[in-house]
Structure 1
């Protein structure tokens, strides 16, 4: 373990994103990680790519695990959603959640082979399978009513004229488009207490045995499952090559999830304007 280091880009990103806790997290992260490894008798195998977290694959007597350390102030809520997704049957089993003074550690089973769906070539059938998998989430309430609201998070993005956290290809949506979506958002806000993932995107869906799909890295919000369905339709439907229209896959996703297509379409409009 003496040669183990946190990737420099992670340390820099954490300090920039959360300056009030980033320095302390960076100082303590390896010692805390070592303690968790000792508890689980874990042997390090690889460090995974991550923007803001220290994510490590290990072997242990329990099997292959992933240990994730995060300095995100919302990390406790994210860990709660991870556990709720596991209980719903769509996420890896959680072995431990440990809050610290500067962040949260989550220990969970490693998904094997663990290929991100986006990296293996998405088919139309995969989109339907993912939507059918997600159906197991629908009907569950959020694990904590005090989790941040999906509606509030999207509202903040829609009113931000200087939004920077966007895909590389994007620029801030025109003000009139965002204004129309703010009105739609107000109508949709009634169902904001459900379990949702919040970021069902290309590298947050992993393939397990027999191509079973697992959802990882939730955003840690409470919200409407139809929003996740909208992300499945656009972020995976467009990858198949069968759809050139962002809305073309929503009918299939609506059928597979038994959610209302018009509601999925409305969330998709908001997601596109909010540049998620």
Structure 2
């Protein structure tokens, strides 16, 4: 993808994101048809579905040769990353959206032949857009984000992670995670992977760990983090796979390897 193509797609996608956010704000206080997916806490609303379809319809019309991976099933089933792929989470943080009416985001990552080209995370209620184009830096609204602090120490780190790390032994022994929590300065959970990754890119949080994330949860955030030096991969240190659900680590480069080595102590 050349710079001119990247810029045109970026401008188009940004406009669509603002339109979709306005639609969500305009309809979010109406009665919501709430369903569950994989478990009772995995929620989906009519606005999740409508918002994804909003993007899918426009992408198909303007870029019929592009592929789509979407959370709510309106996209494609892909086995390879050839061509241009939009990876879309229409409302990341649906539980927050349902219960709190805040702290949720539209997240979009656009890849070309497996390379992250464009990333967006839009905090709908704060009207804050984190965005990046490959090789051109990352931004919060109109302000460019600084490169991440390469002198960060693990004992000074604020890490985003949820409580499942401390009670689920399937990925990493929870006693190791308890030790990890005591090692870092503090941990936070806000209920939206996309916004957690935005905070890592902004430097107000130093890492984000998740037991199981789908590509749409992290695509936009990984692309944005790459522009400020953030490193993304799975718990074994392998690169991020945009077609696979996996446990994920996205971190400041100065502590990424330390976190991976820490997790290896408790790997099954």
Q: What TM-score range do you get, normalising by the shorter chain? A: 0.3 to 0.5
The TM-score normalised by the length of structure 2 is 0.37
Give 1 or 2: higher strand fraction.
2
Task: Say which one has the larger Rg.
Answer: 1
The TM-score normalised by the length of structure 1 is 0.36
